[in-house]
Homo-oligomer: A and B are copies of this chain.
Amino acid sequence: MADDKIRNMEEFARMSGISRPTVSKYFNDPASVRASTRTRIEAALEQYDYRPNIYAMNQNRKLTKNVGVVVPLLSDPYFAEIARNLEQRCIAAGYRPTLFSSHGDPAFEVEVLETLRSLKPAGVLLAPLGRASDRKALEKFCEDVPTLIFDSSVDEIGLAFVGSDNFQFTAHITDYLCRTGEPPCFFEMKTPANPNAHRRRQSYLNAMEEFGHSPDVISVEGEGWGFEEIGRLGGHEVLDQGRFSTNTILCSNDRLAIGLLTACYEKNIRVGRGDDCAIRVAGQDGHPHSRYTCPPLTTISHNYDAVSQTAAEALFTAIEGQVSPWKSTRLEGKLILRDSA
């Protein structure tokens, strides 16, 4: 490997004895050049291991291969997992994903979108912060860049929406809980940071009414994204005050449930469906960690694969020219029965 440091495509083209435009064409699509040319380029590639500058490539391209992936908060394992899933799909489809976290901050979310404009992405997979999002900024962005909204919908913006059917989620698990024991009360944050919380509360209320039970929503204090700790502290308070009206608690999400389970542990309250257990606790999300709580958490899980596949494919077909009207796809969750409820 005679590594005389190739600096740009010009130099590489000279070294391989082929014109730069043809080399450019090769990198754009190796099959678009004559076989003999391809061989020569690939031989030179072995010798000088040159790679085009991706950001310079995209500068003057009609359609880039960039795809932006934006999630509200990467340190939440749920978003980390779905982001990883989406990234893999982008790569598999020949796109270049770039991952961004909004860090739970609406202002930063707008910042991320501005950065994304500079990237000139062919498309964007965006999980907005939800209620906290700057609607107008999102809308404007969606007008300029093909954007698919996932996880949490904001009006009817973008190409389409793909997410879980939160109404089905909560209705389904509420139904399960009602059929197998006392009807649940609903444990949530008073001012939830995560996007789908309101939908789930509403769905709980609807379901309880439909099943002929009186609902009981318990909202605990707490700011930010430290849901486990909010669930734990809130759990202690509510348990101390005996505010749970039933022995069955449906949490707005798994992280809250995990905190509540810890509070129960600390209070020596047995959780589960056995006769020796005092309460049942269920979550919602299918959080990667829900399998490893004690007791393992009964939850209704997002269909991670289906959501990310549907979202990614919808974006790709839109990028590739298919025009279709705005559509909302809400996928059903799957009840995961474990020991906690």
Residues of A within 8 A of B (CB): 51, 53-56, 58-59, 74-75, 77, 80-81, 83-84, 87-88, 96, 98-101, 103, 114-115, 117-119, 228-229, 232, 258-259, 261-262, 265, 288-289, 291-296
Contacts and interface: CB of A to CB of B under 8 A. Distances in A.
A292 B74 contact: no
A175 B251 CA distance: 40
Contacts of A114: 51
Given A232-B292, A261-B292, A84 B101 contact: yes
B88 A80 contact: no
Given A77-B77, A291-B228, A293-B294, A103 B88 contact: yes
Contacts of A117: 51, 53
A292 B260 CA distance: 9
Contacts of A289: 228, 258, 289
Contacts of A296: 262, 265
Nearest to A119: B55
A6 to B, nearest CB: 12
A99 to B, nearest CB: 6
6 contacts: A51-B117, A54-B115, A75-B83, A99-B100, A261-B292, A265-B294
Contacts of A87: 101, 103
Nearest to A271: B294
B56 A118 contact: yes
A98 B101 CA distance: 10
A195 B203 CA distance: 45
A323 to B, nearest CB: 23
Contact of A55 (B83, B96, B118): B118
A293 B232 CA distance: 12
Contact of A74 (B84, B96, B228, B288): B84
A26 to B, nearest CB: 17
B55 A59 contact: yes
Given A292-B262, A294-B262, A83 B88 contact: no
Contacts of A83: 74-75
Contacts of A288: 75
Nearest to A229: B291
Contacts of A96: 115
Nearest to A258: B292
Contacts of A75: 77, 80-81, 83-84, 288
A100 B54 CA distance: 15
Contacts of A74: 74, 80, 83-84, 99
Given A84-B101, A259-B292, 18 more contacts: A51-B114, A51-B117, A55-B58, A55-B59, A55-B118, A55-B119, A59-B59, A74-B83, A74-B99, A75-B81, A75-B84, A77-B77, A80-B80, A87-B103, A228-B291, A229-B291, A262-B292, A289-B289
